[in-house]
C-alpha cells in the first residue's frame, strides 16, 4: 500500500535562539611557546578572552571542531587525540584516541549536529590490495564518540578519496552533511551515508571558488566567501618566458544552492581582503544575521570581519588581540542551529508527501505539549508515533474514532503520526 504524508498545518518552523547565549567560542593559539586555549571572541572589537587558565594542547588539527550546546563542550583534535573542553571552566575533561574498527585512519571536517546530538565527519583511511600491494584512499561519512573516540562509519562504501579545505556544514533539517572536493559540492545523506547531491559549483555572476562555507539555521542556507583571483603577466628577459604571478583577489559574501551548485554573490563590491583563514574559520550569528570570518589585516596580525547576510556589506571589523595568542581558529557560535529538528524523513521510511487528506483525520493541539489527541471520521485500527529517522516510538492498536497519546516525555521537535483506519493510512506531521 502506498503511504502518503499529510501535513495538517503549514508550520513556520523557527528556533528560539534567545534560549541560549550568542557567544562566539574558538581556539586562541600561540606558536612560541606552542599553546592552545579555549576562548571567547568579541567580534566587533576583536578581543579574544581566554577561558582556559592553562594550555589544553600544544597543537590543533584544522580539519574539524564541534561545539555541543547541550553538554556545553567544545571538541577538537589536539596533539594526542580528540579533546573535550568544558566551556564554563575552560578545563580539559577528556582526551580520546581515534578508534576505527575498520582500520587506522583519520577523522576530518567534523561538526556537531544539533538535531540528534552526534558528531559527524569524514572517516578517511587507506586500503591496501593484498594481491598487488597497491594503496588507494577511501572516505566515508561517519560518527565519532566524544568519550571513547570510537568511529562508526555510516557510508556502505567509499564516497571519495579526499576533500578541499573550503569548509564543511551540516543541514540538521534535511540531515545532509556537506563538503567540497575540487569543483564539486558534495552532500551526504546522514541517515545512510550515500551521496545525496553532487553538483558542480557554477558562478553565473562571477567568481572562481566558494570557500569557508557554513550552514545558517536562521534561513536554512549555505553561505561562504566567493573568491576571484587576478594575475599579472611577468616577462623574464633572461629566459624569455612569461609567467602568471598572483596579483590580488576579490572576495564577496555569497550563498550556494546546494542542489544545483549555483553560487550567488550577495556583496555587490569586494569585501576588501586578499586572503582569509580557511577551513572552518567562519561562523554565523543567527540572531543578527551576520557571517564572520578571519583575515590578515593591512597593519599585520589578524582581523575578524562581520558581513551582513542580507546586504553583503561589512558591518564590523575588529583587530584580534589576546594576551599571548596570535591566532583564533575554528570559531563557533553556540546558538546557531540550537534545538533544530529533522524535517526530512529517513529514505528507508518510504513516506511520500502530499498536500491533501483523504481520510479526514484531525490532530489537536498541534503544536502540542504533554498530550495530543487524534480523531477520525472512520474507525481506527492502529496509531504509531514516529521520529524523523523512521524509528517508531510508540504504537497502539486502537478501536473507536478518538485516541490520546501522552507526550510529556518527548523532547521538543518534529514527529509524525502514522494513522491507520478503515479507509487507509495517513502520515501527519506534528510538532512539540
Question: Above 60 in pLDDT, residue 88?
Answer: yes
Tell if the pTM clears 0.85, that is, is over it.
no
Please tell me which of 89-98, 132-141, 366-375 the model is most confident about, judged by mean pLDDT.
Answer: 89-98
pLDDT at 145: 96
Average confidence (pLDDT) over 403-431: 82
Position 387 pLDDT exceeds 80: no
Mean pLDDT of 171-179: 95
| Of 147 and 378, the one with more pLDDT | 147
pLDDT at position 240 is 75
Instruction: Please give the mean pLDDT across all residues of the chain.
Output: 86
Q: pLDDT digit string (tens) for 24-49?
A: 999 999 988 999 999 999 999 999 99
Least confident of 90-99, 241-250, 271-280: 241-250
Question: Can you give the pLDDT at residue 262?
Answer: 98
In SS3 terms, the chain reads as CCCEEECCCCCCCCCCHHHCCCCEEEEEEEECCEEEEEEEECCCCCEEEECCCCCCECCCCCCEEEEECCCCEEEEEECCEEEEEECCCCCEEEEECCECCCCCEEEEEEEEECCCCEEEEEEEEEEECCCCCCEEEEEEEEEECCCCCEEEECCCCCCECCCCCCEEEEECCCCEEEEEECCEEEEEECCCCCEEECCECECCCCCCEEEEEEEECCCCEEEEEEEEEEEEEEEECCCCEEEEEEEEEEEEEEEECCCCCEEEECCCCCCCCCCCCCCCCEEEECCCCEEEEEEECCCCCEEEEEEECCCCCEEEEEECECCCCCEEEEEEECCCCCCCCCCCCCHHHCCEEECCCCCCEEEECCCCCCEEEEEECCCEEEEEEECCCCCEEEEEECCCCEEEEECCCCCCCEEEEEEEECCEEEEEEEEC
Average pLDDT estimate for 368-390: 85
Residue 9: pLDDT band with limits 50, 70, 90:
very low
In terms of pLDDT, which residue wins out, 211 or 277?
A: 211
Q: Give me the percent of the chain exceeding a pLDDT of 90.
A: 53
Share of the chain above pLDDT 70, in %: 89
Res 82 pLDDT > 80: yes
The mean pLDDT value for 151-160 works out to 96
Lowest-pLDDT range of 177-186, 264-273, 368-377? 368-377
Q: Which domains does the chain have, with CATH numbers?
A: 4-9+344-431 (2.60.40), 17-333 (2.120.10.30)
Predicted local distance difference test score (pLDDT) of residue 388 = 66
Q: What is the pLDDT of residues 45-71, one digit of tens each?
A: 999 999 999 999 999 998 889 999 999
Mean pLDDT to the nearest integer, 164-190: 95
Amino acid at each position: 500500500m502506498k503511504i502518503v504524508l499529510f501535513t495538517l498545518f503549514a508550520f513556520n518552523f523557527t528556533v528560539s535562539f534567545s534560549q541560549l547565549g550568542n557567544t562566539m567560542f574558538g581556539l586562541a593559539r600561540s606558536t612560541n611557546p606552542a599553546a592552545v586555549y579555549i576562548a571567547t571572541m568579541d567580534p566587533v572589537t576583536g578581543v579574544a578572552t581566554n577561558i582556559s587558565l592553562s594550555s589544553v594542547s600544544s597543537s590543533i588539527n584544522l580539519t574539524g571542531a564541534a561545539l555541543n550546546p547541550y553538554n556545553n563542550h567544545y571538541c577538537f583534535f589536539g596533539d594526542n587525540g580528540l579533546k573535550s573542553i568544558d566551556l564554563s571552566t575552560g578545563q580539559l575533561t577528556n582526551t580520546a584516541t581515534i578508534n576505527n574498527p575498520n582500520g587506522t585512519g583519520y577523522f576530518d571536517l567534523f561538526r556537531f549536529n544539533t538535531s540528534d546530538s552526534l558528531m559527524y565527519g569524514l572517516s578517511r583511511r587507506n586500503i591496501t590490495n593484498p594481491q598487488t600491494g597497491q594503496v588507494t584512499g577511501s572516505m566515508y561519512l561517519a560518527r565519532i564518540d566524544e568519550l571513547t573516540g570510537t568511529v562508526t562509519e555510516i557510508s556502505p562504501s567509499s564516497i571519495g578519496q579526499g576533500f578541499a579545505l573550503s569548509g564543511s556544514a551540516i543541514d540538521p533539517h534535511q540531515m545532509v552533511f556537506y563538503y567540497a572536493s575540487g569543483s564539486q559540492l558534495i552532500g551526504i545523506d546522514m541517515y545512510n551515508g550515500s551521496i545525496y547531491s553532487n553538483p558542480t559549483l557554477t558562478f553565473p555572476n562571477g567568481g572562481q571558488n566558494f570557500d569557508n562555507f557554513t550552514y545558517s539555521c536562521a534561513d536554512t542556507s549555505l553561505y561562504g566567501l566567493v573568491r576571484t583571483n587576478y594575475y599579472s603577466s611577468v616577462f623574464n628577459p633572461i629566459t624569455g618566458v612569461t609567467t602568471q604571478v598572483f596579483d590580488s583577489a576579490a572576495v564577496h559574501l555569497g550563498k550556494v544552492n546546494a542542489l544545483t551548485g549555483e553560487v550567488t554573490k550577495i556583496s555587490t563590491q569586494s569585501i576588501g581582503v586578499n586572503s582569509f583563514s580557511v577551513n572552518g574559520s567562519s561562523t554565523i550569528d543567527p540572531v543578527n544575521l551576520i557571517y564572520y570570518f578571519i583575515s590578515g589585516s593591512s597593519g599585520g596580525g589578524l582581523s575578524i570581519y562581520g558581513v551582513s547576510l542580507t546586504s553583503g556589506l561589512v558591518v564590523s571589523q575588529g583587530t584580534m588581540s589576546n594576551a599571548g595568542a596570535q591566532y583564533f581558529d575554528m570559531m563557533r557560535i553556540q546558538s546557531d542551529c540550537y534545538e533544530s529538528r529533522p524535517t526530512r524523513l529517513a529514505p528507508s521510511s518510504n513516506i511520500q508527501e502530499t498536500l491533501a487528506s483523504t481520510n479526514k483525520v484531525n490532530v489537536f493541539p498541534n503544536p502540542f505539549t504533554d498530550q495530543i489527541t487524534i480523531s477520525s471520521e472512520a474507525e481506527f485500527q492502529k496509531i504509531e508515533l514516529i521520529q524523523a529517522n523512521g524509528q517508531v516510538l510508540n504504537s497502539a492498536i486502537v478501536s473507536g474514532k478518538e485516541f490520546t497519546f501522552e507526550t510529556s516525555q518527548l523532547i521538543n521537535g518534529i514527529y509524525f503520526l502514522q494513522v491507520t483506519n478503515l479507509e487507509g493510512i495517513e502520515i501527519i506531521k506534528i510538532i512539540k
